[in-house]
A and B are shown apart, each in its own frame.
Chain A
Amino acid sequence: MITLEQTAHLAHLARLELTPAEIAELSGQLGAILDYMAQLQNLDLADVPPTAHAVNTANVLRPDQPVPSTLTEKLLEIAPAPEDHFFQVPQILREG
């Protein structure tokens, strides 16, 4: 079960603008997903150690060796709003 308020809060955190109809629809869908996942609660997992990863590997590391950054021009080119050698972004500290 997920309330309309919870869905609205999640949407705000994800910076999504949803209409009341969409919030209602998504609340139903998210609730169904949670119910589905809740089936796991019925399993006896007392002897299973908790894990944060599905793949059983650890310590994937790389040496501290520089790789030349050759893609600057291209990365700027595909950005929504490049300016000189910068990326334009929304201003955060708006006056007034």
Chain B
Amino acid sequence: MTASITTRYETIIGLEIHCQLGTATKIFCGCSTAFGAPPNTQVCPICLGHPGVLPVLNEQVLAFAVQTGLALNCTIAPYSKFDRKQYFYPDLPKNYQISQYDLPIAANGWLEIESPDEQGKFYRKRVTIQRLHMEEDAGKLVHAGAERLSGSDYSLVDFNRAGVPLCEIVSGPDLRSGAEAAEYAQELRRIVRYLGVCDGNMQEGSLRCDVNISVRPVGETRFGTKVEIKNMNSFNAIQRAIDYEAKRQITALENGERLVQETRLWDEASQRTVSMRTKEGASDYRYFPEPDLPPIQLTPDQIEHWRSHLPELPATKRHRYQEELGLSPYDSRVLTDERAMAEYFEGTVACGADPKLASNWITGDITAWLKTQKQDIRSLACRPSDLAELIGLIQAGTISGKIAKELLPELLANGGSPRALVEARGLTQVSDPELIGQWIDEVFAAHPQELSQYRSGKTKLFGFFVGKVMQKTGGRADPQRTNELLKQKLAP
């Protein structure tokens, strides 16, 4: 039943993402943007919208917005302006929000996502970015539980967040599933974190995602009735909200119901979307140019200056890791998720380490260690050059992989030269056939019973002898050489 439904409809999804820009001060006044301050301690007449005040644009907001636009392959507007978006809401002190309407700072870009399809095979897709603009955030309404119960007719508002700079990024209607939409949001988060313009913290609201979603029969070119979903505070919630909403819309159409254009909230507790029961279509924001803020004019030189300072972005790194270093799409994705990890990996490879081995160590043992020790790769005592040296020791056969794993916690915690550590601990791998031969003879002498069992056909015991040699030498015997010599000695 489900199969016939999903083959007949497609889901059309576009995302509007608000990123809080990580500036020290608000967009139009000098109030601090620090999170978690006591209520209304970071306010002034400008962000409270008192009459006669003069907002002035924070230059860092402009720089961050342009950098983000460039990273998203947008065209940066040579002439851009601010407008007043007028509506009434108790968290909006001026009864208008300063935003950008018809001349946003950036438009017509794209970003590339790379994610596994239902069969686990990675595919790449370009998602268009329609526009990116700067605007101010609103305050925060506090509904105290007791007041609601007592039927009080007012709320309380904290304006610390009013005037915090936001960058709104609007995608084209290019996404087709909850998983794809979540991947797009994650890629955008990676990009703003690489740029250092936004910390991407969804729990604290630094990255907020609204979804526009409609369904239509496959083959239909017109869009269906669009529904907006709000209130998802994780990538997982975005995916689940979309999957739920697509099913709801398809079921409604199958039952011959008419969908209404509306805003719905994702309810985490019940895992469904619920209508906000607000009248849609009545919004009339009467935008007009903000007279207090002069326009922004940028020269090609200025724009090029910002472009030349962009870091290498995750999608470019993923391409390079796969095409130049031979890594899998999966490993490339894990390594590039955080810029610090990607740079650690690149540092290790630059010191001569094999990329595949470096990737395995970093995404495996090192990531696990960082997690249990609650440490950050940026403050790791073991430098990329140290890791490269360790990998070199394994490849040269000086130590076994097993010994390397044992040394790792010490190296990660204290840093230093792996070679020196190996020598100080006497852990150098032994490949000398004479010495290994001697150890094998000693093992045979200590286990005559197993030896005769082996000789009478119980060849499964081969591994037992290897284990005994390793145990005897604390893992220092070269495993390959040990195998060869054992085979020789056990041969009839």
A residues sitting closer than 8 Å to B (CB atoms) are: 13, 15, 52-55, 57-67, 69, 71-72, 75-76, 81, 83-95
In the complex, whether B43 has a CB less than 8 A from a CB of chain A is: yes
A67 touches B29 (CB 8 A): yes
Nearest A-chain residue to B86, judged by Cβ: A13
- From the candidates B44, B81, B152, name the one contacting A69 in the complex (CB within 8 A): B44
Task: Return A83 CB to nearest CB of chain B, in Å.
Answer: 6
Given the interface pairs A52-B81, A91-B155, the reply to whether A72 lies near B296 with Cβ below 8 Å is: no
B158 touches A86 (CB 8 A): yes
B293 touches A92 (CB 8 A): no
The list of the 8 closest CB pairs from A to B, nearest first, reads A67-B30, A89-B90, A86-B156, A52-B289, A64-B60, A61-B59, A58-B297, A85-B39
Task: Return A94 CB to nearest CB of chain B, in Å.
Answer: 8
| Size class of the contact patch on chain B | 35 or more
Bound-complex Cα distance A15 to B155 (A): 20
In the complex, whether B352 has a CB less than 8 A from a CB of chain A is: no
Bound-complex Cα distance A88 to B29 (A): 23
B58 touches A61 (CB 8 A): yes
B90 touches A72 (CB 8 A): no
Interface residues in B30-49 (C-beta closer than 8 Å to A)? 30-32, 38-45, 48
A60 touches B57 (CB 8 A): yes
Nearest A-chain residue to B92, judged by Cβ: A89
Bound-complex Cα distance A88 to B40 (A): 12
Question: For residue B90, which residues in chain A have a CB less than 8 angstroms away from its CB?
Answer: 89-92
Q: Secondary structure at chain B's binding surface: helix, strand, loop or mixed?
A: loop
Bound-complex Cα distance A83 to B152 (A): 14
- From the candidates A15, A67, A88, name the one contacting B31 in the complex (CB within 8 A): A67
Bound-complex Cα distance A69 to B31 (A): 6
In the complex, whether B286 has a CB less than 8 A from a CB of chain A is: yes
B56 touches A62 (CB 8 A): yes
In the complex, whether B233 has a CB less than 8 A from a CB of chain A is: no
A91 touches B152 (CB 8 A): yes
Bound-complex Cα distance A62 to B29 (A): 9
Nearest A-chain residue to B302, judged by Cβ: A59
B44 touches A53 (CB 8 A): no
A91 touches B158 (CB 8 A): no
Question: For residue A87, which residues in chain B have a CB less than 8 angstroms away from its CB?
Answer: 40, 156-157, 159
Interface residues in B318-354 (C-beta closer than 8 Å to A)? none
Given the interface pairs A88-B154, A92-B89, the reply to whether A66 lies near B39 with Cβ below 8 Å is: no
Question: For residue A53, which residues in chain B have a CB less than 8 angstroms away from its CB?
Answer: 81, 289, 291, 294-295
Question: For residue A88, which residues in chain B have a CB less than 8 angstroms away from its CB?
Answer: 154-157
In the complex, whether B421 has a CB less than 8 A from a CB of chain A is: no
In the complex, whether B380 has a CB less than 8 A from a CB of chain A is: no
Question: For residue A64, which residues in chain B have a CB less than 8 angstroms away from its CB?
Answer: 23-25, 58-61
Given the interface pairs A75-B43, A75-B45, the reply to whether A66 lies near B30 with Cβ below 8 Å is: yes
A86 touches B39 (CB 8 A): yes
B56 touches A60 (CB 8 A): yes
Nearest B-chain residue to A10, judged by Cβ: B286
Question: For residue A75, which residues in chain B have a CB less than 8 angstroms away from its CB?
Answer: 40, 43-45, 48
Task: Show 6 residue pairs from A and B whose CB-CB distance is below 8 angstroms, ordered by the A residue.
Answer: A62-B58, A67-B31, A69-B31, A85-B38, A86-B157, A91-B152
B154 touches A81 (CB 8 A): yes
- From the candidates B39, B44, B289, name the one contacting A71 in the complex (CB within 8 A): B44
Task: Return B103 CB to nearest CB of chain A, in Å.
Answer: 8
A52 touches B295 (CB 8 A): yes
- From the candidates B31, B58, B155, name the one contacting A89 in the complex (CB within 8 A): B155
User: Quick one: CB contact mask for B133-166 with A, threshold 8 Å, 1 for yes?
Assistant: 0000000011100001000111111110000000
B25 touches A59 (CB 8 A): no
Bound-complex Cα distance A12 to B158 (A): 27
Interface residues in B184-201 (C-beta closer than 8 Å to A)? none
Question: For residue B423, which residues in chain A have a CB less than 8 angstroms away from its CB?
Answer: none
Task: Return B131 CB to nearest CB of chain A, in Å.
Answer: 17
Question: For residue A54, which residues in chain B have a CB less than 8 angstroms away from its CB?
Answer: 291
B43 touches A69 (CB 8 A): yes
B29 touches A90 (CB 8 A): no
Nearest A-chain residue to B81, judged by Cβ: A52
In the complex, whether B370 has a CB less than 8 A from a CB of chain A is: no
Interface residues in B49-72 (C-beta closer than 8 Å to A)? 56-62
A89 touches B25 (CB 8 A): no
In the complex, whether B254 has a CB less than 8 A from a CB of chain A is: no
A55 touches B294 (CB 8 A): yes
Given the interface pairs A58-B297, A64-B24, A66-B32, the reply to whether A89 lies near B44 with Cβ below 8 Å is: no
- 6 extra interface residue pairs, beta carbon distance < 8 Å, beyond A72-B43, A91-B90, A91-B155: A13-B86, A52-B295, A58-B296, A63-B59, A64-B60, A69-B43
Question: For residue A65, which residues in chain B have a CB less than 8 angstroms away from its CB?
Answer: 24-25, 30
Question: For residue A72, which residues in chain B have a CB less than 8 angstroms away from its CB?
Answer: 40-41, 43
Given the interface pairs A59-B294, A66-B32, the reply to whether A89 lies near B154 with Cβ below 8 Å is: yes
